[in-house]
Amino acid sequence: MMPIAPLMIEHRLIERIVPLIKDELRKISEQKRVDPRFIDTAVDFFRTYADRCHHGKEEDIFFRDLATKELDPEHKKVMNELMEEHVHARRTVGGLVNAKERYVRGDKGAIGDVVALLKELAEFYPKHIEKEDQHFFIPCMKYFTKQEKDELLKEFYEFDRLLIHEKYKKTIEQLEGAIAR
């Protein structure tokens, strides 16, 4: 298996949230209200799966190893753009959390912010994924030997194996912190 296959498989799942967001945007438009549970679920998906799991593998493993290679200037430029896009996605999701919290506290004006941020995510991810799939991942395989590709794949699997433990360790630590207060 090519080491980028897991990343591209993850893209297929991330793409599936886009129509769900668009449906939620339609509901918000019709009902003039936000469903905080949908926002919480979407935020958990973006933070845990899209960012920590998927972007984590890209940044902590794939980009890290690519940075040790003599990249073509265009590939170096695209890698930097992708990292900036990951930061943008994190900021957008953080803004969505803040807008949802304002809405829950009674700020009806927050609906417009929730809508704008959901639209941003629904527009951002397809473009971001297309850039990675079509213009970056496959061309960058040329920088790795077969052994290096095998090592990347092993590291991706190990990353996934430990992720669930990381997530729920943090959950327990947050609960313990809330009880201690």
pLDDT at 1: 65
CATH top-level class of 5-180: mainly alpha
Domains of the chain, by residue range, sit at 5-180
pLDDT at 179: 85
pLDDT at 56: 96
Tens digits of pLDDT across the chain (181 residues): 688 899 999 999 999 999 999 999 999 999 999 999 999 999 999 999 999 999 999 999 999 999 999 999 999 999 999 999 999 999 999 999 999 999 999 999 999 999 999 999 999 999 999 999 999 999 999 999 999 999 999 999 999 998 888 888 888 988 888 888 7
pLDDT at 155: 95
- Tell me the C-alpha distance between 64 and 56, whole Å: 11
